[in-house]
Structure 1
């Protein structure tokens, strides 16, 4: 194990206390929670406040996270690349099931495939990174639509719901019912709605703010979809989306 600097460890321990302290903490609060001497706590709090990692409210003598923490978080977020990170996670999920895995985002009323990893099997879904499909016809799109505010959802689908296959959902009431179920379950399914011979499962991906920014899906030809319990496909997709969310900074 690498040698750690005790003073830095104490400072970080104190700083991390504020992650869940929305009302702030006083110096006695910090001393009580860390077990550190009050003089040590005072010195560290004063130093962190001087560097804007904490901000002291003089009226209440409480400390809160400061601007420097916000700047660090933004710098980290800006360096995250959904395509690069998503491709690595998609590869891992695809290797676990040998099926096609997509990571997608919303673009208007469509989903845009940010990255794709193909199954190695000869019969597989045909698509491409950079391709677009009406969101309401795909599991990955429904996983994204389900987490939009109602007014934004209505705006995105105001031109109507196109039909790609006989199974496509084209009635707004039916779509709304599905999206409500998806929000509750945290998973979206699609059975031959964009391709008549393919079933899919998808789960939402969140960023460091907790916002749904993408979704990860597994697309399986029906001849193999039924070879595993549906719950197994769901677990693979949910675990992959959770992993990608973690990589994007989601708690």
Structure 2
């Protein structure tokens, strides 16, 4: 089995320290990694020579990440395929609950479904890959709307009246704002018959490297199978699925 090179591991350990701090001194690196002063100095000099770190003059000298790391990150991000990654995670979540799983993105005041994995139970649903639905009527949409800042949400609400899909749909702008505050606090949204009277749904946000909600994942099931117990289980399942996909998109909890 190939040997792991300790010096490379230590160099990577140093670079990963900057995920939490914009700048670090040699002493801080030494203390955080419990490495000898000479080893830290040699590694910092080497990383600086290749421009992976840039030294900032001062007392003491501080180091920050260099441009090559941005270039590597951009190259990785450019090769990420949200749909491809989402399909795999959605299949795993669907297999765990045997209910329909969706992944959707926000487009103005609507959501567009990118991925749908059906349950083994035949169920007629309003959702389909490529279909557009009013965001405020869906769990995925409400999660994504809750991530908008005030100006962004204002822009969405100014696009027109909040048309309902069922009698349960939220059609009052102020009522929606209050509802989204609860979604933001809880980290998940529910569709209680708001897009389809016969269905229930729970959704969580999928975040990218910047912490922005770029998509949402949901589990949907007919009322007959939606119980207090399954709601708890499926909420945790969709949280986990969204977290897994977020991690694949480069999200770290500290980045938000």
Tell me the TM-score range normalised by the shorter chain. over 0.9
Alignment of 1:167-182 (within 5 A): 167-182=168-183
Is 1:47 matched up with 2:64?
no
Equivalent pair of 1:125/1:219 in contact (CA under 8 Å): no
SS in 2 for 1:19: coil
SS in 1 for 2:29: helix
The CA deviation at 1:127 is: 2.5
Q: TM-score, normalised by structure 1?
A: 0.94
Equivalent pair of 2:126/2:195 in contact (CA under 8 Å): no
Structure 1 unpaired stretches of 5+: none
SS in 1 for 2:114: strand
SS in 1 for 2:243: helix
Equivalent pair of 1:52/1:68 in contact (CA under 8 Å): yes
In 1, Cα distance between equivalents of 2:31 and 2:227? 57
In 2, Cα distance between equivalents of 1:44 and 1:225? 56
Q: 1:91 to 1:124 in 2, by over 3 A?
A: farther
Equivalent pair of 1:89/1:243 in contact (CA under 8 Å): yes
Equivalent pair of 1:100/1:125 in contact (CA under 8 Å): no
Compare 184-193 and 55-64 and name the one that shifted more. 55-64
SS in 2 for 1:115: strand
SS in 1 for 2:51: coil
The CA deviation at 1:106 is: 0.3
Is 1:242 matched up with 2:236?
no
Per-residue CA deviation, residues 66-87 of structure 1 (Å, 9 max, x unaligned), is 1111221121111111100011
**Which residue of structure 2 lines up, in the alignment, with residue 189 of structure 1?**
190
The CA deviation at 1:144 is: 0.3
Q: TM-score, normalised by structure 2?
A: 0.92
Equivalent pair of 1:99/1:124 in contact (CA under 8 Å): no
**Which residue of structure 2 lines up, in the alignment, with residue 201 of structure 1?**
202
**Which residue of structure 2 lines up, in the alignment, with residue 85 of structure 1?**
85
Indicate the RMSD between aligned Cα atoms, in angstroms.
Answer: 1.6
Per-residue CA deviation, residues 49-102 of structure 1 (Å, 9 max, x unaligned), is 121211101234111111111221121111111100011111111111111110
In 1, Cα distance between equivalents of 2:123 and 2:19? 48
In 2, Cα distance between equivalents of 1:125 and 1:43? 61
**Which residue of structure 2 lines up, in the alignment, with residue 214 of structure 1?**
215
